[in-house]
Amino acid sequence: MTPFVARRYDTGEAVRITLEGEQIAGVQPVTPSPEDLASLPYVAPGFFDLQINGHGGVWFSDEGLTSDAVLTVLEAHFRYGVTRLCPTLITNAFEAIHDGFTAVREACEREPWADQMVAGCHLEGPYIASEDGPRGAHPLEHVRGCDWSEFEKWQKASGGRIRLVTLAAEADGAEDFIRQAVASGVTVAIGHTAANSEQIIAAVDAGARLSTHLGNGAHGTMRRHPNYIWDQLGEPRLTASIITDGHHLPPSVVRSIIYAKGTGNVVLTCDASGLAGCEPGEYDYHGGRFEVLADGPIVVAGQRQYLAGSGQLTDTCVSNAVTMAGITLGQACDMAALNPCRLLGVPVVTLTRGSRADLILFRYGGSGSRLEITASLLSGALRYGDLPEGT
């Protein structure tokens, strides 16, 4: 592939990047004129989103999901700068979740690029709180206590790809489940929880290491302190994932979480709904009624308080984080790429020789503007857009 020149996302320095096969073969500084520098796109490691539920009306937890549908959803996310993700399956009947993991496995076995893109699967539920608020949009009839035997069946269906599980700290059997999951190499997150302080501590002592979309999946009104948000925010052993789509959290909360945890301990996610990319209107899903609102949010139909995933994608969440929290572009990109890799223990992509060439190029006008993804490369192969010419 012809070398290209772009600006590093972290320093703004112009570099010429050479690729060889699936890897970066060289990153050399260049010195363009100020005018040429300003015209160059940025280059960064591709985003790695831990929580994507689907796209375009397809959910990864659909009963009867096919590998063709999985591939279509995966392909769609290249345009948003995502080169790795965790297909996320939410609370549902055993068969629906089994079908979803089976379809993801079959897609990865069919297409090498899909296997490279799927860094792992995320099981969000069904071992969560049953209360309104903490349960979010998850269907009450399928909420249940932790069941290791059931999980093992799903793990087998996925081909061993489940790497992240979100559960409520107070779910029946949570502590034992967490210990078994961690011992098997699975990362455990606390989310959709109504736990008390002692239950949060017990879950972390058992091995939980992440708070899933901290500040969401919660009661609309709760005791000022202590509560399960403060308990997780102040727990140094927990990384926090946050949804910076502009609807799930206000800027003050985004800033507070990032300042409390530090940029190295926050993961940005879009939590994209299966309705992301759909036109405004009401939609049925497994007996539930959801609504894509004209101004962006996706909600349980008939109200605006309970969100049902996001309609915004990862690129928007990265640019929003810069605007909302006053952090740098480099910090925001690392929170959407580097930090998820470290959390799950998967290889980190860097702009250095020998790194896997999962790269994105984009244009960005600074705080208050959005990213414009111009190219996405997975393992050195161009999957979306075009590379700069004449460089």
CATH architecture of 47-344: Alpha-Beta Barrel (3.20)
Contact status, residue 158 vs residue 105, Cβ threshold 8 Å: yes
Mean pLDDT, to the nearest integer, of 293-303? 87
Handedness of CA 365, 248, 290, 71 (dihedral sign): positive
Q: Which residues contact 10 (CB under 8 A, 6 or more apart)?
A: 44, 329, 330, 333, 334, 351
Dig out the tokens for 74 from the structure.
């995966």
The two beta strands, 42-45 and 359-363, are antiparallel
Burial tier of 167 (Cβ tally within 10 Å: 0-12, 13-18, 19+): buried
pLDDT digits (tens, 9 = 90+) for 147-196: 999 999 999 999 999 999 999 999 999 999 999 999 999 999 999 999 99
Contact status, residue 208 vs residue 191, Cβ threshold 8 Å: no
pLDDT of 390 reads 54
Determine phi and psi for 80, rounding to 5 degrees: -105, 15
pLDDT digits (tens, 9 = 90+) for 23-37: 999 999 999 999 999
Mean pLDDT, to the nearest integer, of 75-81? 98
Q: Which residues contact 39 (CB under 8 A, 6 or more apart)?
A: none
Q: Where are the domains of the chain?
A: 4-44+351-385, 47-344
DSSP 115-135: HHHB--EEEE-SSS--STTTT
- The residue with tokens 């690029």 is 113
* Strand ranges, E, within 238-379: 239-243, 266-269, 281-285, 288-292, 298-300, 359-363, 372-378
> What are 88's strand-pairing partners?
122
Sheet arrangement for strand 187-190 = 47-52, 82-90, 121-124, 162-167, 187-190, 210-211, 239-243, 266-269
pLDDT of 264 reads 98
CA 262 to chain centre: 18
Dig out the tokens for 306 from the structure.
């309970």
Residue 306 has pLDDT above 90, yes or no: no
pLDDT digits (tens, 9 = 90+) for 82-133: 999 999 999 999 999 999 999 999 999 999 999 999 999 999 999 999 999 9
Using DSSP, state whether 165 is helix, strand or coil: strand
| Overall residue count recorded for the chain in this entry | 391
pLDDT of 305 reads 77
CATH superfamily of 4-44+351-385: Urease, subunit C, domain 1 (2.30.40.10)
Greatest alpha-carbon span in the chain: 63
User: How far is Cα 97 from Cα 59, in angstroms, rounded to an integer?
Assistant: 11
Amino acid at 287: G
Handedness of CA 270, 276, 281, 283 (dihedral sign): negative
DSSP letter for 278, please.
P
